[in-house]
Structure 1
Amino acid sequence: MTDEGGGSNNGRRRTQIGALVLFAVGAVAIDSSLVAKMRLRPTNPDLATLATSNASQGLAKVAASINATDISDQHTVTASPNSTSPPPPTYNLDSAAAQDKSPDKNTEAPSVTESTSPPTNSVSIAAATPCFPDPRRLAYMLYATDARTVCNALLMARNIRETGTPVSIPIVTLVASDVAPDVANHLVDTANNFVVERVAPWKQSGVEWSHEYAMSLTKLRIFEERGYDKVIYLDSDAWIQRNLDHLFHLGDAVFWAPHAYYLTENYVFGSTLLVFAPSNTVIAALEKALESPPRPDYFDMDVLNDLYRLDCGYLPSHYVVLSYTLNDNAVWSFTSKAERMAHTYVYHYSPGLGVGKPWSTPRSILRNKNPAYDPLFYDLFARYWDHEDALCSWLRQ
């Protein structure tokens, strides 16, 4: 009976040990699963360490319990430090620059003044953007109708990449079909995921071919469905100061556009920047509205405002600032002009203060600067010309 009782006790102890080991393994598996889920929250990097620590503490308690049974054939379970994968790397602007093989890589642009530098306490786009894969098809989109706008689109595409937008997001330029193939091909760059799609030109019937905006309605073809779920459109005669990728996560609206602060405080938006889900329904409404334009000088911004000014989403004014107004003292929701400038995303080259677009402005303005203007005003022109020299030498051939 004694031997049988001792054997029974040993059996119970082995059963207890097995149960404790299974409990320990289960604790590790559960905590590892939690850690894997916590990796989806890049703003809480300490959570993974905390979960791993909890697993280790739980195993220590299990081991202490086993030791208390005074069993000679103890089972030891150790938490593996590799039970979770390292967090995914955040996107680094330096790595983006290293990938860029553009001929202007060694071109040194004028330094940005201190007043226009991003604030030191600003949250980076890499930290704010979810680190898990986005199943949607995203794209930046531009358009071009002649050699000059092809050059501008090329400069803008490079500018977008330089702000840190990953190569996985294509930059698509809609090029009018009457642009010569050898000119349009300057926009093709497989390594940088620059894509060209040919479209039919769309002319405003009420103006002459020579009119500056005669072909601007071609821009509206960005709303045509081409297989992309969300698009960020930009006019190419602009300069990006800060990355715009976070706009892909805006909620539903026919589109999002910046408030046209330079026209009125009421509901009017500019079309330099648009964020939208392409829709053939929208393009059909635009085509119908343009069958009988109310006046000759009726272009893309006019028809978009007439149809959607009360239905679209509005971006704050500092998303797009006209170049000649950057010197204004407006602060909007910021505490100072310097803070407003530091938070501006896009500067749109606009005629004013005695200068026009960069390609129609003499470069001598850089030698005769008005001291009353913020240095950034001239820096923007210098940057355009530096990139034009590096990327568009074919314009002068």
Structure 2
Amino acid sequence: MLTTGISGLCLLRIDSLSPEIVTLDRNATTATTATNKTPTSLRIGDQNETPVSLQPKDQYKTPTSLQIEDQNTTSTSLQIEDQDKTQILDQDKTSANLRIGDQDNTPHQKRQVDQKRFAYFFYVTSNTYACAAIQFIHHLVNDLQMNSSRIDVVVMHTIHANAPLLHKLQDRYHVRTILVDSVKADATEPTWRESLTKLRAFQDWGYDRVVFFDADAVPMANLDHLFDLPPATLYAPTAYWLEQPFFASTLLVIEPSDEIFNDMIRWARERGPAAGFDMDILNTYFANSVRYLPGVYTVLNSDFRRAPTEKSTLFDTTAELKEKTRLVHFSCKPDGSYGKPWNWPSHDLSLLDGARFDPLFRQLFVEYWHGEQELCAS
């Protein structure tokens, strides 16, 4: 099993950034910027590794990887939550809500009349993550002025996300919601246990390309340009804090395919616990085909638990990293241990060393807690 040890992540607010791809060599400590240019130095996975892509004999079979066999047999690390096997139903158009059960009989989803070619995708498996998605989408729509005439916003959710929060997404931000069965791994930490549900973003929901985000992150700049990258099954940012080559799964640029999704689930189930979690599975399965985005597209917030003048992992100073960051992902608590903003219930940051840490480390925890009240509770 691969190791995906994670340091903490922080949120950064950066305004008025021009759309650009910052290219980064896997061994480099600095990045070069190509503003308004087609990326020319995106890396492709290690071509010397054994391919794990679809075999020709599998490409035209009816997908079977979502079928649940005897749940009393020896478990693997991957399960599909057993809900009723309702086929997809187009519900009231005002709700833009779809239901998905067993995918085996519906390998391709028809595009709705008003559906666009591109979509930002999220998944939520609890009310906590539904609130996080609301805040992320609020940034996309209101702060960063995403192109809503060109791009849909879609939230896949399980039965554990309650209706009022889903209605906020639909009514305020015109989000399409899709009820799905969760894909679970053997893990005690809730964050990891249902993280494999994100793999459903690879299913064909009728979009030519989707940009997937973990909900517990914050965008720092408009990311619409990711839809215009050259054709590829998967783009993902370098996980610069790990031994390379390895990519992060907080942001994924995907060309959806039911065949790939079902083959990936089958592949993971065959390997059981050894397959690991979402980041491990994706890195192994797409080792030969992934194209790497620079690390600034997923920045660990532990890099901001230091003074602005201190050297960062990617740049000469933390201040420069802050300027270049495109997305940050919450995974460290104020004390530096693993966790999310909602794992710090006191909302007390008085013990933080304000002179030592970048002010944004404190500011963005406060911003998240404010969003819980203003966007989720109201």
TM > 0.5: yes
Give the drift of 1:194: 1.4
Deviation by residue 1:316-351 (Cα, 9 ceiling, x = unmatched): 111111111234645566554322210101111112
| Structure 2 counterpart of 1:143, from 103, 110, 123 | 123
Runs of 4+ residues deviating >6 angstroms: none
Q: 2:263 aligns with which of 285, 290, 300?
A: 285
Q: Give CA-to-partner distance per residue, 1:196-238, whole Å, 9 cap, x none.
A: 111111112x345x74321111111011101111111111111
Bigger proportion of residues as strand: 2
CA–CA separation in structure 2 for the residues paired with 1:174 and 1:364: 29
Once the two structures are superposed, residues 47-73 of structure 1 have per-residue CA deviations (whole angstroms, 9 ceiling, x without a partner) of xxxxxxxxxxxxxxxxxxxxxxxxxxx
Q: Higher Cα Rg: structure 1 or 2? A: 1
Q: CA deviation at 1:377?
A: 0.9
Task: Provide the residue aligned with 2:234 in structure 1.
Answer: 255
- 8 Å CA contact 2:299–2:329 kept in 1: the answer is yes
* CA distance in 1: counterparts of 2:161 and 2:375, whole angstroms: 18
State the identity %: 31
Secondary structure of the structure 1 residue equivalent to 2:233: coil
2:14·2:220 contact (CA, 8 Å) conserved in 1? no
SS of 1:166's equivalent? Answer: coil
What does 1:287-366 align with in structure 2 at a 5 Å threshold?
287-295=265-273, 298-327=276-305, 329-331=310-312, 334=315, 336-351=317-332, 353-355=335-337, 356-366=339-349
* Paired AA for residue 323 in structure 1: N
Q: Which runs of 5+ in 2 are unaligned?
A: 1-10, 21-34, 39-114
Corresponding pairs, count: 270
Q: Which residue of 1 aligns with 2:78?
A: none
Describe the superposition over 1:113-159 as per-residue Cα deviations: whole angstroms up to 9, x where unpaired: xxx756x8x6457x9599xxxx9711101000111111111111111
Q: Distance in 2 between matches of 1:184 and 1:192?
A: 11
Matched, 1:240 2:219: yes
SS of the residue corresponding to residue 123 of structure 2 reads strand
Counterpart Cα distance in 2 of 1:330 and 1:285: 43
| Change over 3 Å in CA distance of 1:211–1:385 after alignment to 2 | closer
The match for 1:388 is 372
Kept in 2: contact 1:167–1:192 (CA 8 A): no
- After TM superposition, the structure 1 stretch with the greater mean CA deviation from structure 2, 299-308 or 288-297, is 288-297
Shift of 1:381: 0.7
Q: How far apart, in 2, do the equivalents of 1:155 and 1:143 lie?
A: 13
Question: Are the equivalent residues in 2 in contact too, given 1:269–1:314 (CA < 8 A)?
Answer: yes
Matches within 5 A, 1:37-186: 123=18, 128=36, 137-161=117-141, 162-168=143-149, 169-186=151-168
Residue in structure 1 matched with residue 49 of structure 2 by the alignment: none
2-structure distance, mates of 1:247, 1:228:
14
Work out whether residues 305 and 358 of structure 2, in 8 Å CA contact, stay in contact via their aligned partners in 1.
yes
Tell me the CA shift for residue 248 of structure 1.
0.8
Report if the CA contact (8 A) 1:330-1:337 is conserved.
yes
TM-score where L is the length of structure 1: 0.62
Q: Of the candidates 187, 194, 217, which is equivalent to residue 169 of structure 2?
A: 187
CA distance in 1, matches of 2:14, 2:165: 36
**Structure 1: any 5+ residue segments left out of the alignment?**
1-110
Distance, in Å, in 2 between the alignment partners of 1:163 and 1:275 is 19
Distance 1:171 1:314, change over 3 A: same
Q: TM-score, normalising length from structure 2?
A: 0.64
* C-alpha contact 2:268 2:275 (8 A) present in aligned 1: no
CA contact (8 A) 1:178 1:201 kept: no
Letter in 1 for 2:136: M
CA displacement at 1:182 relative to structure 2: 4.1
Taking a change above 3 Å as real, the CA distance of residues 179 and 365 of structure 1, as seen in their structure-2 partners, is closer
With a CA cutoff of 8 Å and minimum separation of 6, indicate the structure with the bigger relative contact order. Answer: 2
Determine which structure has the larger helix proportion and give its number: 1
TM-superposed CA distance for 1:309, in Å, is 2.6
Tell me the alpha carbon deviations over residues 92-131 of structure 1, each in whole angstroms, 9 at most, x when there is no partner. xxxxxxxxxxxxxxxxxxx97xxx756x8x6457x9599x
Separation in 2, partners of 1:192, 1:117? 22
